[in-house]
Amino acid sequence: MANFKVGDKVRVVSIATHAMSGFKVGDICEVTNVNARGLNRYGIRRGFLHGYANEENLTRHIADTPDLTARVTELEAEVKALKAQLAGKADKPTLAMTLADAADSMTKAMQILAKVGATVKTPNQRRSDVIKQARAYVEYLLTEIDGQLGWSRTVIPLYRRCGRLRVEFVVNNDKRTVVALARLGNMQKHPEVYGKGIAKCAPGDVFNADIGKAIALGRALGVDVPAEFFKAPQPTEAVDGQIITFPTYDGWHRKVNYRVDGVNEREYCLSVARDDIGGEIGMRAYLGDGLGHLVIIDDTEAQY
């Protein structure tokens, strides 16, 4: 006789002739009563099964004989949990993986730095680029206002109002200014100035007439001037054609100017470009390994 108690879950595994209430194999029942003789009554909502000595042949504990579906579900859950656990371990990098990744990242970083280093330009090179852009900008504007492209195609306000124009530039290296004067096509017959632009070099900047012309011409014609011309890099290395002088705190500042000439050819590569002192200095001077305390003030004719 099975040792069942009230509340046990059992499954019908065999049908006897005394089975009642339509039970069939596979039905799940709950023990609702255990009589004095130890006999059990297994009931579900639609009825009950009354067993005697052969009840062990009729029923089994569910815990003892789980159904196939429940077991498959349980196994699937275990497999899923195991996969998640293995995946979690794979996500955690080992020391070898970490070192390998670090080495790979370092290699890539060195390659990027090498490419960047190859393209990084010195202040002198970047200033040279801006000067070239300024020259091209002036050439473009002068071509536009010459009338060859046609009045209807121009984007220059002054040209649309006045027609063909001619421009005169007034460069003053001492005052570090450039003035652009725009007149009608025949300046002899029409000397009136229809557009005027002024560019003045900031005190601490190096004067360059080409950059000044670009700024002054744009202002004279009423067009936007590229921002690069206002913030051009300042040169840091001496090259032929530059004008250099003593620093601002020196009494010879801008009173004695030198022109760099043959910086890569001879030791004494400075020739006097201006002498307001009165012959107190030699005609040529020694530059040394660098500019030292001397400062560049004009690179209009610099050979970058």
Please write the tens of the pLDDT for every residue from 226-242. Answer: 999 999 999 999 999 99
pLDDT tens track for 2-23: 566 777 777 776 655 444 456 6
What global pTM score does this model have?
0.58
Amino acid, single-letter form, for residue 235: P
Max CA distance (Å), the chain: 140
Q: Determine the pLDDT at residue 4.
A: 65
CB 39 within 8 A of CB 52: yes
pLDDT tens track for 138-154: 998 888 777 655 555 56
pLDDT-derived band of residue 41, with 50, 70 and 90 as boundaries?
very low
Q: Determine the pLDDT at residue 189.
A: 67
Cα–Cα dist 12/74, whole Å: 22
CB atoms inside a 10 Å sphere around CB 219: 18
Q: Which helix (H) or strand (E) holds 111?
A: helix 95-119
Size (the chain), residues: 304
Angle at 253 between CA 231 and CA 247, to 5 degrees: 60
pLDDT-derived band of residue 301, with 50, 70 and 90 as boundaries?
very high
Which comes out higher in pLDDT, residue 70 or 62? Answer: 70
Q: Which helix (H) or strand (E) holds 295?
A: strand 295-298
**Helix, strand, or coil (residue 229):** helix
CB 8 within 8 A of CB 57: no
Cα–Cα dist 293/244, whole Å: 10
User: What mean pLDDT do residues 24-32 have?
Assistant: 72
